[in-house]
Amino acid sequence: MPRAKAVATVQRELVERARAGDHDAFTELVRASYPRLFGVARLILRDSDRAKDAVQDGLMQAWRHIRSLRDPDAWDAWLHRTTVRACYKVARKEKRRSLVELHVTPDPAVAGTPDASSSIAERDRLGRELDRLDIDRRAVIVLHFYLDLPLREVAEILDIPAGTAKSRLHRGLAAMRESMRAPESLGQPDPEGST
């Protein structure tokens, strides 16, 4: 995969320059990664404004601590880690139990794709079930499914044992599956709590 290797090489060079204090290099890295990080934060925090705060905080921390990054090739994983940490910090500050209503704007790239597996209403329902999960389980699901990371890497980012990541994923999915089977009752809190 020569293109992927070229992209990785360019990113590595940018990280090394940023690590040396080159803000322009850092800016390029931020512009490339911001949408992905915002997606992660939004899915974890279930709120666009809080996600924006988390990503801002996470990237500010990344810039301040960039000289602690020893391996430039670990940039993506490190960035995911700072973002998730920032999400947890935001969640702790504004802990609330109410469900959040998301305004989902269909992505033009996928709007025309027939969805054989679920209707729009069912997808909304699934989104609400994701809301109900506690942040620990939701973070594992987001990192595993949205970033397509293997569980071992998810565990590294969240600083938990691999077995714990595995169990949180299974428990989260099981909780969502069970809730989907029951008739929905909006406003009913998740017994395990949610943030």
Partner 1 sequence: MNEYDAFDQRVADLVANEGATGVPTAAVDELVTATSQVRPLPRWLALIKEPPMRRSSAVAVGSPTVRLAAIALSTILLLVLAGGAVAGAMQLIGPPTHTVSADGDGDFLTISAAVDEAQDGDRILVKPGRYPELVRVIGKDIEIRGDGPAGEIVVEAVPTDVAVPDSDDEEPAVAFYLEDTTSTVARLTVTGPEGSWAVIASGENTAPELENLEIPLVHDTFERGRNLYWTDGASGTLSDSTVGGSLSMGAGATPTLSRNSLNACVWVDGVGARPVLEHNEIFGCEQGFLLFVGEFWNESSFPSSAEIRGNTFRMEAAETGQHMGNIALIVGRSDDAVVIADNEFIGNRTAIAVRAFAKADITGNTVRDGETGIWIEGQGSVLSGNRILDNSLYGLLVHTSPPIEENTLEGNLIGINLGADAQPELSGNTFCGNETDVKVPDGNPTTLDGNEVCGTAG
Which residues of the shown chain bind partner 1 in the complex (CB under 8 A)? 19, 21, 23, 26-27, 30-31, 34-35, 38-40, 42-43, 48, 52, 55-56, 59-60, 63-71, 74, 77-78, 81, 85, 102-107, 109-110, 115, 117-118, 123, 126-127, 130, 141-142, 145-146, 153, 156-157, 159, 161-164, 166-167, 170-171, 173-174, 176-177, 180
59/135 with CB nearer partner 1? 59
Query: Are 66 and 143 contacting, i.e. CB atoms less than 8 angstroms apart?
Result: no
Shortest distance (Å) from residue 67 CB to partner 1: 4
Closest C-alpha to 86, from 50, 65, 45, 57 = 57
- The two three-digit tokens of residue 162, written as one number: 């691999």
How far is 144 from 149, CA to CA, in rounded Å?
5
Q: Which is nearer to partner 1, 2 or 137 (CB)?
A: 137
In the complex with partner 1, which residue's Cβ is closer, 2 or 152? 152
Burial of 49 (0-12, 13-18, 19+ CB in 10 A): exposed
